[in-house]
Structure 1
Amino acid sequence: MQADDVPYLPRGVRVHHDRVRDAWVLLAPERAIMLDQIGHAILSELDGERSFGAITRALADRYNAPADEIAKDSAGFLRALKDRRFLEVRA
Structure 2
Amino acid sequence: MHWDYGYGMGGWAAVSMTVTMILFWLLLIAAIIALLRSATRGDRSRTDRGSSGSGAAGQTLPERFARGEIDEDEYRHRLDVLRAGGGGDTS
Q: What's the TM-score, normalizing by structure 1? A: 0.25
Higher relative contact order (CA 8 A, sep 6+): 1
Query: Which structure has more helix as a fraction of its residues?
Result: 2
Query: Which structure has more strand as a fraction of its residues?
Result: 1
Q: What's the TM-score, normalizing by structure 2? A: 0.25
